Structure 1
Amino acid sequence: MSLSTHVLDTTLGIPAAGVAVRLEHSACTLAEAVTDGNGRIGALGADLAAGTYRIVFDTGTYFASADRPVFYPEVAVSFVISDPARHHHVPLLLSPFGYSTYLGS
């Protein structure tokens, strides 16, 4: 099973580069990475089994580094992997005062 993410700064209309991301399962950290210049992490974790996972995005540090206000210093997205053979993509659309996510392809 593969897992990827993509973070877009919707206020500026650009990829959110440099966002620290953590993958968790059963309160354990499985992987950590930082979004690249295109706001992407192509591979987060490996050989993930069926179950409930959580991706935590460090949005506070991202906004603070640009001296921008932030209301949500951390965004945690919980999701279920029911088919470990399928690729899962969890994007985050981000602004200082709101966010949205969805199951991507």
Structure 2
Amino acid sequence: MPALTTHILDLTHGQPASGVEVDVYFVKTESEKRIIAQSVTNRDGRVDKPLVAEADFEEGEYELLYYIGDYFGRKEVSAGSPPFLNRVAVRVSLSASAAHYHIPLLISPWGYQVYRGS
């Protein structure tokens, strides 16, 4: 049962990143993508439900867009003006044969790391 979830950890403050907006797009071609989900992380830095549930899942390329500039602005952390990292886009290719995809994002105002979690 394929699904897509995420969580965000704030490395600057050593805590989950709550209140981060996350948009998810299905990428048809380089010039054509459609938005399929919009969410905001909860106090644990997670979304309350899968970004893409089993019923809506289709094999292909997805783009997750994380609005981290807004998050660090609310935390009053200066990352320059405009912020060095305003939005982080992560593209992943997902296969219907996998049971679950979890995409953790570790952030600071100056860098990020992403990986496939469990």
Q: Root-mean-square deviation (CA), in Å?
A: 1.2
Q: Could you tell me how far apart the structure 2 residues matched to 1:84 and 1:32 are?
A: 24
What is aligned with 2:50?
A: 43
What is aligned with 2:62?
A: 53
Residue 85 of structure 1: how far off its partner (Å): 4.7
- The one-letter amino acid paired with 2:111 is G
Encode CA deviations 1:74-93: one digit per residue, 9 max, x unaligned.
Answer: 00000010235521000100
> Could you say which structure has the larger radius of gyration?
2
What is aligned with 1:78?
A: 91
Q: Could you tell me how far apart the structure 2 residues matched to 1:48 and 1:35 are?
A: 21
In the superposition, relative to structure 1, how do residues 84 and 19 fare at CA in structure 2: closer, same or farther (>3 Å)?
Answer: farther
- The one-letter amino acid paired with 1:33 is S
What is aligned with 2:7?
A: 6
Quick check: 11-20 or 61-70, which moved more? 61-70
Q: Could you tell me how far apart the structure 2 residues matched to 1:84 and 1:62 are?
A: 34
What TM-score results when the alignment is normalised by the length of structure 1? 0.94
CA contact (8 A) 2:57 2:96 kept: no
Q: Could you tell me how far apart the structure 2 residues matched to 1:66 and 1:10 are?
A: 13
- The one-letter amino acid paired with 1:83 is A
CA contact (8 A) 1:49 1:84 kept: no
Residue 19 of structure 1: how far off its partner (Å): 0.2
What is aligned with 2:38?
A: 32
What TM-score results when the alignment is normalised by the length of structure 2? 0.84
Q: Could you tell me how far apart the structure 2 residues matched to 1:60 and 1:12 are?
A: 15
Shift >2 Å, 4+ stretches: none
